[in-house]
Amino acid sequence: MQVKLGSVQPKKTPEQIEAMRSGGKILATIFEGLRRHVAVGMSEIEADSWVETQIRKHGAIATYKTQEVNFPGVICISVNDEIVHSFPTSYIFEKGDVVKFDLVITYKEMKVDSAFTMVVGEVPTGIKKHLLNYTERSLYAGIDSIKGPTRTGDIGAAVEAVLNEGKLGVIRDLVGHGIGQKMQQSPEIPNYGKKGSGTLLVPGDTIAIEPMATLGGESIKTEDDGWTISSRDGSLSAHFEHTVLITENGTEILTKL
């Protein structure tokens, strides 16, 4: 039975949702290849160039390079204490770097957004493994909290509970968001919250859930380049993200193979 509830997002047609579904698979395919491609000795610019080639190959558009964003690259590449929005530079990846990749693409005029964190050149161990595991777990806890119509506070509470369990710094000043016809739409999806509070999400809504966490405090700073956001205390950070479709009984992760 169709739930008769209003949405804060523009209504999407079945064709638009299918475009996001296809775009999500393209993005996930690019990320699968990027995980294998990145290596010690590669520069951020080289990684960015590889991603740009893959986006074109799949018939998609690099959203960050459009007038909507005007970002100096096709993908955000943030290293170690950098959390998000760092643009590709000549920096050469070193063994053990904790690198966050965040990408938005447009396919058939619809946007999808995803991010992951990896350790370059080695299998994560110790505190790095702890950071990545708990941050990624918090993403899926947020997704699993959605059982049909759901309030944003339910998602934030689920994310926050896992990050607190891991004793990580919860980044509160950066949030997830609605996505679809535009890269960022209502509502905001904080990585903390109280169950039963916030905006009501309904079937057909599409959102990007993106927990960010540090091994230290939650305070952040914007670097002099005007883009990069880092942990204020210099602690290592992680970032994971998926675009999901709210359904009658749960979600469909659009940016996963």
> How many Cα atoms sit within 13 Å of 133 on the Cβ side?
11
| Residue 42 in tokens | 């590669």
| Residue 232 in tokens | 């204020």
The CATH superfamily label for domain 14-253 reads Creatinase/methionine aminopeptidase superfamily (3.90.230.10)
Report CA-CA distances (Å) from 223 to 48, 121, 200.
20, 27, 35
Separation CA 208–CA 238 (nearest Å) = 16
Rounded to a whole number of angstroms, the CA Rg of the chain reads 17
Separation CA 84–CA 227 (nearest Å) = 8
pLDDT in tens, the chain (257 residues): 333 456 889 999 999 999 999 999 999 999 999 999 999 999 999 999 999 999 999 999 999 999 888 899 999 999 999 999 999 999 999 999 999 999 999 999 999 999 999 999 999 999 999 999 999 999 999 999 999 999 999 999 999 999 999 999 999 999 999 999 999 999 999 999 999 999 999 999 999 999 999 999 999 999 999 999 999 999 999 999 999 999 999 999 999 99
Q: Is the separation of the CB atoms in 253 and 146 below 8 Å?
A: no
- Strands 110-119, 150-151: pairing is unpaired
Separation CA 61–CA 64 (nearest Å) = 9
